[in-house]
Structure 1
Amino acid sequence: MGESFRKVKGQLFMNGRESQRLLRGALLLTLAGIISKILSAGYRIPLQNLTGDIGFYVYQQVYPVLGMAAVLGLYGFPTAVSRLAVDVKERGYTISLRGFYVPVFILLTGFSSIAFLLLYINAGNLAALVGDPELSKVYRWSAFLFLLLPITSVLRGTLQANSQMEPTAFSQVGEQLVRVSLIIIAAVLVSLHGLSVYTIGSAAVFASAVGAGAAIIILAFFLAKQKPQAKGEAVVPWLYMGKTLLMVGVVAALNHMVLLTLQLADTLTLIPALREYGLSLTEAMEAKGVFDRGQPLIQLGTVLGSSFALALIPEISQKRVRKQWEAVQYEIQGALLVSFYLASGAAVGLITIFPEANILLYQNDNGSTTLQILALSILLCSLSVIGTALLQGAGAIKRTASFIAIALLAKWAGNLVFVPWWGIAGSAWATVISLLLLCLMVYSSLTREFPGLKFFEKIRWRTLLAALTIMVIYLIIMEMLLPARWLDSRVSLLFYIMFVSCSGGAFYLYILVRGHAFTEEQLHMLPLSKLFIHIHRGRKIDGQK
């Protein structure tokens, strides 16, 4: 009896340690994702400053291809490989080179080779489709990135199957650091030596390849410690392997491509639609480059709005497995509310100060009105990202992927209809409408998945409206007090933007906290949580008095 008790106790201890390890690993992956997003958004600003709007346009035209390859190698195929590895272990077999690594690698090489050939052969047709034949060479070079996917996917997938998330996190940040550094160096060379702006496209492909190489080195270092077994029997049928790798890999990747799919629609449709609107090719390229200024700002705003909420997802998933439904719904509600409040403030604040921010970041205020419309995407994209992540954690992976595909089609159709009428502003409205549609689908599905979820009912609309109004009035007054000479100096604008952003954000958060928009548990998700909780409790004390 005592021996049995010790065994059960030991098993529970091991399970607890495993759960803690998984939670730490998932949080580390979330942190790595946030760092990567900040890097990905930040380097675009000096890139545009150095190469101009046309150089930025060239980069953004090739970026969706680079992004798709990166997402497949980081999330898509590794998820499928990890699932296969877990299947093999559950059957009582050992992961071996001959029985697992080699078959999976061969199948992934087959899929990647098909993608490579399709893009390489049709690079000219793709360039013609997007309306710029000069891009054919860049697209042809970008095809080679797909040939690296089998290596990174097998390494990441097998390590994740062993509950080792650290290698994926370190390799993700390392890959991004190398890629960003090389792209900035290339932009400097283009600017100093007057090279063709299309050089930045080829340089971006090269930087992505070198970054992937750095990730492979980091991952191989971790895998070498495990010394995988060489011999072993292939226990999973090749057909099942192939179907799992393809279906799970593509669906899992699509769930991480909300912004990327919309950028893909812009890449394929915007230049031809702007030509139909009446712009020349050069004017259309410049307009697309100006429009793309909004992408890093949306990315940064989305990180601000969703990062704290996304950090809760591992814990939510863990409680869902334990069937603690009331706790799951409460934490989902908290994650959504934090994301909604932060993203609302970021979107409205950015819209208010956008002309000055545009001059600060991009040296002029071209396209400010269009980009103010696009800034609405910060709120919608933040809600979409956290909503799709929650649905994915609930197991609705295919359904979530279908929602993103529908949003892509809506954006595509919106560009074709609105841009010939309204020019580049039409694309901004198409983005907003497609993201709104995605939000409606996602939250309708979340409500069905978690019937007790009362997200919109829990929003304190009066407090939110008061906080937004006071913040906007404050920002407008500060703008009226801004000396005209400050607009001529980017250094002066930098201090002004930093000051009004921080002070305006502080006013906004203070009113929300003072107005009881958050619970104390939700405030723990924020930085300076002790200060916010003190303000929150002060409201209670005042009420009692």
Structure 2
Amino acid sequence: MRKGEVEHPGRVDEKCRGAERDRIYVRKKTGMLRGAALMGAAMLISKTLGTMQKIPLQNIAGDRVFGIYNAVYPLYQLLLVMVTAGIPVAVSLLVAEREAAGDGGGARRVLRASSWLLFGSGAIGFALLWLNADRIALWMGDSATAPAVRTASLALWVAPVMAALRGYFQGQGDMLPSAVSQLSEQTVRVGGMLIMLAVGWHYGWSDAKLAAGATSGSAIGGAAGLAVIAGYWMLRERGNSGYSYEGNGDGMTAESGMEHTKTRARDRLEGDGLLALMKRLSMLAVPVTLGALAVPALGVVDAFTVPRLLRGTGVSQAEAMSLFGLYSRGQPLVQLVVMVAGAMGAALVPALAAARVRGDEAVMRQQAAFVLRVAWGLGAAAALGLALLAEPINVMLYADDAGTRTFALVGCTALAGTVSAIAAAVLQGLGAVSAPALFMLAAAALKAAFNAALVPAYGTAGAACAGIAALTAAALLGTGAVRRAAGAALPARRAAGIGLALAVMAAVLVLAERGGAPLLGLALPPRAAASALALGGTALGGALFAAAVLRFGGVTARELRALPGGDALAARLRRWRLLPAAE
């Protein structure tokens, strides 16, 4: 514009509108990142609570009740996944589509359709479990599981509708209601379970009633989670009169602009009746549901095979379920390790996806190879630590050393579980979404076959070995898929560095257990001594492994610098002399 010339008012307005659009975009992007972080943190806390609550369950109620819970809960989880897994994603997609068009009424129609769909599906699932509880108990090999199956089924009245509301809020870009609901559900679930166990223990309930009380926590927690998110929804609807929520974290804004677009969207959506929306939601949910089924499938395989196969060896149904409880002792820690590994892998997905979109094959190959090496190294360290410290960890968590050999074998599955979790995240970043689910479903089929072959001869140790074999097959398949998709390779020198670090860690843990256990036993009560050895050994072994990996070249400074904040980390490690000077 020349000096002295007055800018046309229309241009000024256009610039203002452009600046406002930029500010709205930045606010929305920031809100999405914060929302994703909030949901990630809520999910991590919830899963940790859900995993670790099994320990007080066993401490209070014993191994048979623990076994019943671990047999029934995967079945409930599988049915819940079938009913709800993909719907929140589908609802969020359709709600986001309606909100983007400024059609709040259409978004509410999606919520109404999904609520009816999920309520009906939940009711069918409830009927299947409640009416067939005795038959399911017969299939599991212990009649005491029937009351637990029935109380677990009660959660199917509330959890599906809660899932629909979570998807609705996520579609609006507002993650806070879902996060608060998730934390409320899990906290109340654990609290409710512990209260029921305390009441049952006080009044001398049978093992069947104690297990039913424990599984009722799912319904109690689900009701609390539904109440919380329904409260958010009612407040939102009450304040929504004449307004449209943008979902950017800044509150309500009056509807304005885009009237032609809104009118067209409404005209198109008026034809979307409840049945049509239900059909579309179902079609969108199928791929996610199939992928999610792989997670509880292994637990269901164990629940329906291990107790029955143990009974075939001549033990009573009560003893068989107690043995199944002993077999389940190591699973919470393995699940915790795999969960943390999955979270680490998920953090790497955006960088891999960005490299794939850019077509930067060198970066994609380098990052995929690094992640695979870290997966095998961390998984091996976790498995080795759980196996070598099995006895003190067993005593620390469960007050005795019963089933320590099986505990150690179950701990070894941490290697394959970690690799599978991280490989699944990498494959997702590379665009291969369905492959990890297929690998885990194949592992479930292998687990059933290996259980049938090994449990009659070797008992719960055979079931643990079956898990190692089946999960290792899935881990190898996942690793091979990553190598093919990204061209990633595992250099022998880096692998040797990790192997040396594992050897150092193993030697120190063996010496610590053999030398420290007698000394601690003289100074502390048995459980306190075991706790000191388990926690001290875990900290010492982890620190030595990390230091040895760096010193022996398992991870290089160049690879660390490629990570977010890696420059500062590499510089600090060099000052601490943990990285070789040559790097």
In the alignment, which of 138, 156, 161 is matched to residue 166 of structure 2? 156
1:463 maps onto 2:503 in alignment: no
Counterpart for residue 488 of structure 2: 453
1:543 maps onto 2:582 in alignment: yes
In structure 1, stretches of 5+ residues that fail to align are none
Counterpart CA distance in 2 for 1:84 and 1:220 is: 20
1:375 maps onto 2:414 in alignment: no
Counterpart CA distance in 2 for 1:330 and 1:80 is: 34
Q: CA-to-partner distance for each residue in 1:267-322, whole Å, 9 max, x for gaps?
A: 11111111223333222112101000011111122234343333333555566567
8 Å CA contact 2:84–2:118 kept in 1: the answer is no
Secondary structure of the residue that 2:104 maps to in structure 1? coil
In the alignment, which of 498, 512, 537 is matched to residue 478 of structure 1? 512
Q: What does residue range 18-97 of structure 1 map to in structure 2 within 5 Å? A: 18-68=28-78, 71=81, 75-89=85-99, 93-96=103-106
In the alignment, which of 209, 213, 218 is matched to residue 228 of structure 2? 218
Counterpart CA distance in 1 for 2:154 and 2:429 is: 33
8 Å CA contact 2:109–2:274 kept in 1: the answer is no
Letter in structure 2 aligned against 1:451: A
Pairwise CA distance, 1:354: 0.8
Secondary structure of the residue that 2:553 maps to in structure 1? coil
Counterpart CA distance in 2 for 1:110 and 1:329 is: 46
1:288 maps onto 2:331 in alignment: no
Counterpart for residue 511 of structure 1: 548
Counterpart CA distance in 2 for 1:143 and 1:314 is: 38
Counterpart for residue 109 of structure 2: 99
Letter in structure 1 aligned against 2:309: A
Counterpart CA distance in 2 for 1:122 and 1:458 is: 54
Counterpart for residue 420 of structure 1: 456
Letter in structure 2 aligned against 1:465: G
Question: Which one has a bigger Cα radius of gyration?
Answer: 2
Pairwise CA distance, 1:214: 1.9
Letter in structure 1 aligned against 2:494: R
Q: Could you say which structure has the greater relative contact order, defined with CA pairs below 8 angstroms and 6 or more residues apart? A: 1
Judged with a 3 Å threshold, the aligned counterparts in structure 2 of structure 1 residues 243 and 383 are, in CA distance, closer, same or farther, namely farther
Higher mean C-alpha deviation, range 74-83 or range 155-164: 74-83
8 Å CA contact 1:72–1:249 kept in 2: the answer is no
Q: What does residue range 31-430 of structure 1 map to in structure 2 within 5 Å? A: 31-68=41-78, 71=81, 75-89=85-99, 93-96=103-106, 99-227=109-237, 233-236=269-272, 241-249=277-285, 251-256=287-292, 258-314=294-350, 316-317=352-353, 330-430=366-466
8 Å CA contact 1:294–1:374 kept in 2: the answer is yes
Letter in structure 1 aligned against 2:307: I
Judged with a 3 Å threshold, the aligned counterparts in structure 2 of structure 1 residues 89 and 519 are, in CA distance, closer, same or farther, namely farther
Counterpart CA distance in 1 for 2:191 and 2:83 is: 20
Q: CA-to-partner distance for each residue in 1:72-113, whole Å, 9 max, x for gaps?
A: 687532112112323445666434476322222222222222
Judged with a 3 Å threshold, the aligned counterparts in structure 2 of structure 1 residues 328 and 494 are, in CA distance, closer, same or farther, namely same
Letter in structure 2 aligned against 1:514: R
Q: Matched residues, percent identical? A: 28
Judged with a 3 Å threshold, the aligned counterparts in structure 2 of structure 1 residues 291 and 111 are, in CA distance, closer, same or farther, namely same
Secondary structure of the residue that 1:195 maps to in structure 2? coil
Counterpart CA distance in 2 for 1:28 and 1:453 is: 32
8 Å CA contact 1:276–1:420 kept in 2: the answer is yes
Higher mean C-alpha deviation, range 244-253 or range 370-379: 244-253
Judged with a 3 Å threshold, the aligned counterparts in structure 2 of structure 1 residues 457 and 9 are, in CA distance, closer, same or farther, namely farther
In the alignment, which of 513, 526, 530 is matched to residue 489 of structure 1? 526
In structure 2, stretches of 5+ residues that fail to align are 1-10, 245-265
Secondary structure of the residue that 2:167 maps to in structure 1? helix
Letter in structure 2 aligned against 1:291: Y
Counterpart CA distance in 1 for 2:364 and 2:174 is: 25
Pairwise CA distance, 1:372: 1.6
Counterpart CA distance in 2 for 1:150 and 1:259 is: 18
8 Å CA contact 1:41–1:300 kept in 2: the answer is yes
Secondary structure of the residue that 1:81 maps to in structure 2? helix
Pairwise CA distance, 1:377: 1.2
8 Å CA contact 1:88–1:235 kept in 2: the answer is no
Pairwise CA distance, 1:490: 0.8
Pairwise CA distance, 1:2: 7.3
8 Å CA contact 1:514–1:535 kept in 2: the answer is no
TM-score (norm 1): 0.88
8 Å CA contact 2:144–2:207 kept in 1: the answer is no
Counterpart for residue 498 of structure 1: 535
8 Å CA contact 2:392–2:531 kept in 1: the answer is no
Higher mean C-alpha deviation, range 94-103 or range 343-352: 94-103
8 Å CA contact 1:338–1:522 kept in 2: the answer is no
Pairwise CA distance, 1:335: 4.1
RMSD between aligned residues? 3.3
Secondary structure of the residue that 1:133 maps to in structure 2? coil
Secondary structure of the residue that 1:364 maps to in structure 2? coil
Letter in structure 1 aligned against 2:545: Y
Instruction: Tell me how many residue pairs correspond in the alignment.
Output: 542
Higher mean C-alpha deviation, range 96-105 or range 507-516: 96-105
8 Å CA contact 1:135–1:198 kept in 2: the answer is yes
Letter in structure 2 aligned against 1:245: L
8 Å CA contact 2:200–2:213 kept in 1: the answer is no
Counterpart CA distance in 1 for 2:547 and 2:205 is: 50
Counterpart CA distance in 1 for 2:491 and 2:13 is: 53
Counterpart CA distance in 2 for 1:128 and 1:438 is: 30
Judged with a 3 Å threshold, the aligned counterparts in structure 2 of structure 1 residues 402 and 342 are, in CA distance, closer, same or farther, namely closer
8 Å CA contact 2:337–2:382 kept in 1: the answer is yes
Secondary structure of the residue that 2:409 maps to in structure 1? helix
